[in-house]
Structure 1
Amino acid sequence: MVNKNRMNRVAAAMAAAALMSVAVPAAAAEAVVTPRVDLKVLVVDDGGSSVEAITAELRDTGVPFTRVVLGSGSRPVINAGFLSDTVDGRPRAKYQGVVLPNENPFGDGSAEMAALTAYETTYGIRQVDAYTWAHPGVGLEYTDNGGYSGQLDGTQAAVTAAGKAGPFGYLGGQVTFEDNSALVPESYGFMGKPRAGYTSYLDAPVGGGRASLVGEYAHDGRSELVVTFGYNQYQQQFRLLARGIVDWLTQGVHLGQSRNYFAVHVDDVFAPDARWSKSLNCTPGDYACAGGEGQESSIRMTAADAQYAVQWQQSKGFKLDMLFNAGAGEEWKAENGGTDALTAQLIADRAKFRWMNHTYTHLFLGCTQDTSASPWTCTKNANGAVNYMSRAEISAQIRDNNNWAASKGIATDRTELVTGEHSGLKTLPQQPQDNPNLAGALADNGVKWAGSDNSREPVQRAVGAALTVPRYPMNVYYNTGTNAEMADEYNWIYTSRADGGSGLCEDNPATSTCLPAPLDVNTGYLNTIVPAEARTALRHVLANDPKPHYVHQANLAEDRTLYPVLNQVLDTYGTLFAPSAPIVNQSMKDTGVELSRRAAWDKAVAANKVTAYRIGTTVTVKAPFGVVAPVTAPNGTKKQLLLGTADFGTAYAGNRSAWTSPDLLQSAVTLRLPS
């Protein structure tokens, strides 16, 4: 019989990196061998959204896992042989953690649950119950004894002292359940009072007391993380807890890493942007705006707007990326009396922003467009071949912008480029392939990272020797400078024809939803659009998603429509997270590197070419040559060098993590965990 107190002490010690030893069979009864635990998670999937959410977190952070689908007739049987074996005379646990739909998805008396129980007890493996109800079997009182069951929309939950000292110390404290619509129930669950052996990590008020929503149940030499509310991978309450669930499950040592990223690109700096017409419901100057001739108007930042941007950055501790078109700015200057206070101000404050090449005059770098009809088409030569902008012309657009910046003392990274409208890259349906001259022009100028539109191409891909970096478009429109213009255009796009809108939402019900009624143009932007856009952006931030967001310089002008969205994202984030988990605001190049590393890592894991395991306080990671491994480990972890050791990784959210590879003359990464 296993001693319960001894096992509980071992489980606690493992969180600091020590692993219990188990005896080998009778033939070597005198020897005690520390087992090997492979860095992989077992997921038993019932098809529910809660298991899918945890699976998505494992996948998106790079944690290898094996998924067993309960309803599949061809699934493996979970028994002792499936869970463990012996490698080179050493007992091996094949999984470092187990995710179940609930505390026992196999049924009473199940041999599979008995095998899992024995496995977890023997090797000190933890189990997550993705969603269950409050009852004594998971260490909780029934809900009729000081608890609650029902809808949880808007519930103000809080991380307990034990949660802050444990897996959720990276949070600020409050976890509010989403309540985005009064018409739709969004979450349901149970809150129960803890019994002996249960430690609550997240609770909420019930009557005159509090009851648990997430906690650890230690019993019979095992530890379960019990979650008693349903969720999906997109809901904020799960996104806040996801990191801690994985860290608890893996006892703080796992492959993969996670950050909360947010970067904002401001396109068209120095250039004016065309203005939306409320009367024509289009943008004069656009070829598709019938009747717009002679009604063109533009939006452009002023020197005061540039000064405000600097002040705002300082107040928020957040730097904007200025994507500039110097030639368009020079044209504006020549057409407006030969002076330009905006450019002078931005040059004076050049060191206070990050800068990126957006081409010299924002030309369309793809095929030659025929705009005589809507939608436009690519022109063709006499032989029927598409006419494309030449390599020399594209190269000049890149080179001239770089040279102008250098002449003004503006520092840029010449490996980064975002073309105007992401042109030159394929544009469906009119231009189904990249301009064949684009890759050569990028190479001519040393461009390695080319911004693309995530709404068109969400996956990084090669353009010659360069790689794309998908960017999220924000619903803060390029052709609006005021809150009223924003609301008016939003109404046109998202209201039905009967309500005076374009009806695009009716024609594309799979991708958009019609507003039940048009927004008030005076209040609709701040009251409806801003909260919705901030929620979307924050969802990306909380999903370990490094892709940048992009807007336009018009959004920093006039009513300065961008700032309310950014304020809500950053201020909300500041209340949700502790200082140990700051927003990572990185360059496009760094994001490109991150995405390319993830792609190589995911490919290696999918091909079973990664071997990673832990023996006591030593972690070994082997990956194919050239593949960099993401690893997360506790504070105090050291990386073994050829001679001596060095601190491993960088600190984030209470542990340390990094992309890492073997050093010179080494065939594997070796980490020494703290004792």
Structure 2
Amino acid sequence: MPVLLAAVVTGSAASPASSAPAGDGHVEHAHEHPLIRAAVSRPKQPAAPKLPVVNGPVMAATATTSSHHVNASSKVALRVLVLASSATDFGLPTWKSTLDRIGQPYDVILAKNTTLQAGHLVNNDGTAKYNAVLLTDNALSSEGTSAFDSAEWSVLWSYERTYGIRQVSLYTSYGTYPEDYCLRAGTEGPITTPAQLALTQPGSQFFDYLKASARIPVSQSYVYRSRVQSGCQATPLLTVGSDVYAVTSTAPDGRERAALTFSSGEYQLHTDLLGYGLLRWAARGVLIGEQRHYLNLDIDDWFNHTAHLYPDGRLETNPGFRLSGPEASATHAQQNSLRDRYPLADEFNLNIPYNGGGLISNAPSRCSAMNTPDPLSSFSRCEGNNFRWINHTLEHPALDFTTYAENVAEIRDNLAVGRDAGFVVPGDNLKTPAYSGLGVYSTTPDGPLKDFGLTGSNPHLLKAAKDLGVKVLHGNMSFEGHQPPCFNCAITHPLEPAVSVVPDWPVNIGYQVTTPAEETYLYNSLYGPNGQFPTHPRDLTYPEILALEAEVGLEHVLSGSVYVHTFHQGNAHHYAPGKSLAFDWAEEVVRQYSSYYNVPLKGPDWTWVANYAKARSAHHNEIKAGPDVVWDKVTNIVTVSADTTGSLFITGAGGLLVPSERYGTDLITQLGVRPGLGQTLLAQPR
């Protein structure tokens, strides 16, 4: 799976901002956190091509006279056809990334390389191969002239007409060639100042997961600002004033089409907001795969001391920084406040990967600093049921070369300490210190990290984890060896198949910072013009840094990524009443999400996340194996006949005996499948 935002990782002792003694744990057991860098912004899109504006429609052959007429049937496979001019078509990566995230199987036909014939579209038994047709642009002309001739367009339109297949054009110019979308010339050109697109009333129904009041920001795009021809069967979906940016329209032969009049790249915010809705409409709401939105935060190293970086560059490691007891209660209050102020985030609940070596066992469970040997231990026990606790090892050592006995003690004893304190801690989940033991380590003291892949993992760690019942280890998306081959998937560990790896997302809010001033110093020491990794032309302010970090986090959320974002205990410090770095980030992500969406942000626990990631892996294996899932559009029965044992996600169909979830107006079903077991669901088309 191509990872759009995972950054390269490196370790260095070259500067205070990145060097160690980053002692994260009791000082005598200090283990340096490596420098793990996240993306600093969304990738920039290359310039979109200008489409030729051509008039003079190609008339579709009628169903009764076309030599390409297909043998009509009511059955269609839940598979999507993507039509692009060539492998370098600007819109091809956009459609592919959108479909891959959802988990929708698809085929790509490159029009310049293929003469389209009815046999490409229909199986021998008359079943239609595709439930939706997705064009990169309306004439497949992004490279100059249309890649289809009139006969090929007639084949496509005959297929769509016969089977009732909808068509979406991702990028559409006004003009009537090869067919008329009812769009007439307005103005055109690159968008230099971001356009804020409004949803019309039909548009808010089309994209019903978005707020009717949402404004869709479009930038780095080429646009054909259009008018709708009077008396033509077209309905605007997105507008800016009197300019039309998206329509649905009905062709004279009854075919249904949707079109955007601006370019959409794979990395752009408006693609995240609109892509799923375009597919869902084209597929009439019945599709393979699903999209939901998640926000989950880990606050690592609870009970430990962490190296503390000051705004002047001083790095304190003895003892470093450790949360106070009242800050545990204040963090719970922040969690409640976020839920109250943003109802879409009412599932939000922090995960706390803890190091029990710093928990004082005789500290009583009370939310008071009075009469306790350790307020943090007391407050944490008092607030224990308000967080979700994760085994992060007892003393936070590096596990790259530890023995079996050492690994057993770190995992087993930390679990026992947490449970003795009254925490609910899953035994099947382990987050190793700084993701150590999983094949990424330095071969020299203070040297750069090297990714040896999961086959470079510590076998003693894997055996200890397996023997103690651990089924999931946390990885990191910054490490290439931890990146799953498919979106939202898990990796079955190559050295120990009983254990899976599910990665986290890193952030550029350092483990060693606790205040905006500290984060600003650290960030600019890395990414400023004189930083270790020069990225920006000037040093940024904290609000600017927060905006960039939230932008990256929001992209993960909008993509449907289930992976958890990693913060550290210092980031939960209350540098002002009700304010911490972790919640500054979380609130900005939630605020922006809530300005666009009316479907909730899910916040499942780590066991659910791990099981879901495994199910997504099974889903992708299933759709690669085939055969296609078939929908009879007359009876509305969806038939599933699997070739492998696993799991399949289907949107828009369900049954009495299968688990389903309503997410907004979508019905999402997770279906267990196995060879020889034919299953049926009832479709709920839109």
TM-score tier (shorter): 0.7 to 0.9
Query: Per the alignment, do residues 326 and 107 of structure 1 end up closer, same or farther by CA in structure 2, a change over 3 Å counting?
Result: closer
Moved more, 453-462 or 93-102: 453-462
Aligned residues: 570
Query: Per the alignment, do residues 175 and 444 of structure 1 end up closer, same or farther by CA in structure 2, a change over 3 Å counting?
Result: same
Look up the match of 1:357: 391
1:218 matched to 2:250? The reply is yes
Cα deviation per residue 1:259-311 (whole Å; 9 max; x = unaligned)? 111111000011111112555x47454xxxxxxxxxx4512212232122111
Look up the match of 1:258: 291
Q: Is the 8 A contact 1:613 1:619 kept in 2?
A: yes
Q: Distance in 2 between matches of 1:489 and 1:284?
A: 14
Q: Is the 8 A contact 1:153 1:187 kept in 2?
A: no
TM-score under structure 2 length normalisation: 0.78
Look up the match of 1:445: 468
Give the C-alpha shift of residue 149 in structure 1: 4.5
Kindly provide the amino acid, as one letter, of the partner of residue 328 in structure 2: A
Look up the match of 1:539: 555
Q: Is the 8 A contact 2:161 2:254 kept in 1?
A: yes
Kindly provide the amino acid, as one letter, of the partner of residue 358 in structure 1: H
Moved more, 475-484 or 427-436: 427-436
Look up the match of 1:57: 98
Give the C-alpha shift of residue 33 in structure 1: 7.8
Query: Per the alignment, do residues 449 and 96 of structure 1 end up closer, same or farther by CA in structure 2, a change over 3 Å counting?
Result: same
Give the C-alpha shift of residue 450 in structure 1: 0.6
1:99 matched to 2:122? The reply is no
Give the C-alpha shift of residue 135 in structure 1: 3.4
Give the C-alpha shift of residue 574 in structure 1: 1.1
Could you say what secondary structure the match of 1:142 adopts? strand
Q: Is the 8 A contact 1:422 1:453 kept in 2?
A: yes
Query: Per the alignment, do residues 486 and 33 of structure 1 end up closer, same or farther by CA in structure 2, a change over 3 Å counting?
Result: closer
Q: Distance in 2 between matches of 1:107 and 1:60?
A: 28
Percent identity for Structure 1 against Structure 2 = 25
Unaligned runs of 5+ in 1: 1-21, 26-31, 180-185, 286-295, 368-388, 506-512, 640-644
Q: Distance in 2 between matches of 1:398 and 1:627?
A: 30
1:400 matched to 2:421? The reply is no
Unaligned runs of 5+ in 2: 1-62, 141-145, 340-347, 364-370, 444-449, 485-489
Which structure: larger Rg? 1
1:303 matched to 2:325? The reply is yes
1:366 matched to 2:405? The reply is no
| 1:568 pairs with one of 572, 588, 597 | 588
Look up the match of 2:55: none
Kindly provide the amino acid, as one letter, of the partner of residue 245 in structure 1: L
Q: Is the 8 A contact 1:152 1:188 kept in 2?
A: no
Moved more, 603-612 or 621-630: 603-612
Q: Is the 8 A contact 1:34 1:615 kept in 2?
A: no
Cα deviation per residue 1:505-548 (whole Å; 9 max; x = unaligned)? 2xxxxxxx5221223xxxx11x2110000000000001121111
Cα deviation per residue 1:546-576 (whole Å; 9 max; x = unaligned)? 1111000100114221221111101111111
Q: Is the 8 A contact 1:660 1:669 kept in 2?
A: no
| 1:113 pairs with one of 150, 153, 174 | 153
Look up the match of 1:343: 377
Give the C-alpha shift of residue 429 in structure 1: 4.9
Q: Is the 8 A contact 2:188 2:222 kept in 1?
A: no
Query: Per the alignment, do residues 572 and 167 of structure 1 end up closer, same or farther by CA in structure 2, a change over 3 Å counting?
Result: closer
Kindly provide the amino acid, as one letter, of the partner of residue 323 in structure 1: P
Q: Is the 8 A contact 1:364 1:420 kept in 2?
A: yes
1:41 matched to 2:54? The reply is no
Could you say what secondary structure the match of 2:294 adopts? coil
Q: Is the 8 A contact 1:661 1:669 kept in 2?
A: no
| 1:622 pairs with one of 626, 641, 651 | 641
| 2:337 pairs with one of 284, 306, 315 | 315
| 1:585 pairs with one of 600, 603, 608 | 603
Query: Per the alignment, do residues 562 and 94 of structure 1 end up closer, same or farther by CA in structure 2, a change over 3 Å counting?
Result: same
| 2:669 pairs with one of 622, 636, 658 | 658
Kindly provide the amino acid, as one letter, of the partner of residue 66 in structure 1: D
Cα deviation per residue 1:361-415 (whole Å; 9 max; x = unaligned)? 1111112xxxxxxxxxxxxxxxxxxxxx111111111111111111121111111
Kindly provide the amino acid, as one letter, of the partner of residue 54 in structure 1: W
Moved more, 215-224 or 534-543: 215-224
Give the C-alpha shift of residue 592 in structure 1: 2.0
Q: Distance in 2 between matches of 1:478 and 1:660?
A: 40
Look up the match of 1:249: 282
Query: Per the alignment, do residues 349 and 538 of structure 1 end up closer, same or farther by CA in structure 2, a change over 3 Å counting?
Result: same
Could you say what secondary structure the match of 1:312 adopts? helix
Matches within 5 A, 1:22-37: 34-37=73-76
Query: Per the alignment, do residues 396 and 104 of structure 1 end up closer, same or farther by CA in structure 2, a change over 3 Å counting?
Result: same
1:595 matched to 2:627? The reply is no
Cα deviation per residue 1:25-76 (whole Å; 9 max; x = unaligned)? 9xxxxxx98521111111112333333212211122111111112344xxx4
Q: Is the 8 A contact 1:45 1:52 kept in 2?
A: no
The structure showing larger relative contact order (alpha-carbon pairs under 8 Å, at least 6 residues apart) is 2
